[in-house]
A = this chain, B = another copy of it.
């Protein structure tokens, strides 16, 4: 019963993703969004709730479609492999010519205009914390398997990897090329302890 929607909900969400990705949460106005999505304001509110909820749906889609390499990287046989896949995969997403440069999450979490945007910012920070925690656990496993010296703190290494990634995101948003970011990732990997464990 009822009238059919005249637009594709997923397609419109994809268009919204492009806008949020380029402009950030605060920088994307409803006018930007509705024009890119090809729908009117009331349609947006009826379908997605409000700007904040639309962003959350967009963010979910972003993680599923563009950050899926993270889960895959966690299954690499070695810690070095995991970190390498993480940084290289991230570099590729950040400089994908099919999408705006940089990271949707980073672009929307740095400037803190205050008000409602602060909620979004905190949520993005929490999601990043979760990713760092996941990486930490992976490195703890690597340590328990003798891959890391016992005096290395996995939390420190997870934080370091995240920092390099966030820095690459900022540089990508500023125009860094894919090749440049790959070189950053390559150098970042050199910080890892020498191949030899205490002995395995």
Contacts and interface: CB of A to CB of B under 8 A. Distances in A.
Interface of A: 22-24, 26-27, 102, 106-114, 125, 128, 153, 156-157, 159-160, 162-171, 173-176, 180, 183-184, 187-191
Q: Is the interface of A mostly helix, strand, loop or mixed?
A: helix
Nearest to A189: B191
A170 B170 contact: yes
Given A106-B170, A175-B125, A191-B187, A113 B160 contact: no
11 contacts: A23-B112, A102-B110, A110-B110, A110-B111, A156-B183, A156-B184, A163-B170, A163-B171, A166-B166, A170-B170, A191-B191
* Chain copies in complex: 2
* 9 A-B pairs with the lowest CB-CB distances in the bound complex, closest first: A167-B167, A163-B167, A27-B113, A24-B111, A166-B167, A191-B191, A110-B110, A166-B170, A190-B191
A111 B26 contact: yes
Contacts of A160: 183-184, 187-188
Contacts of A106: 110, 170
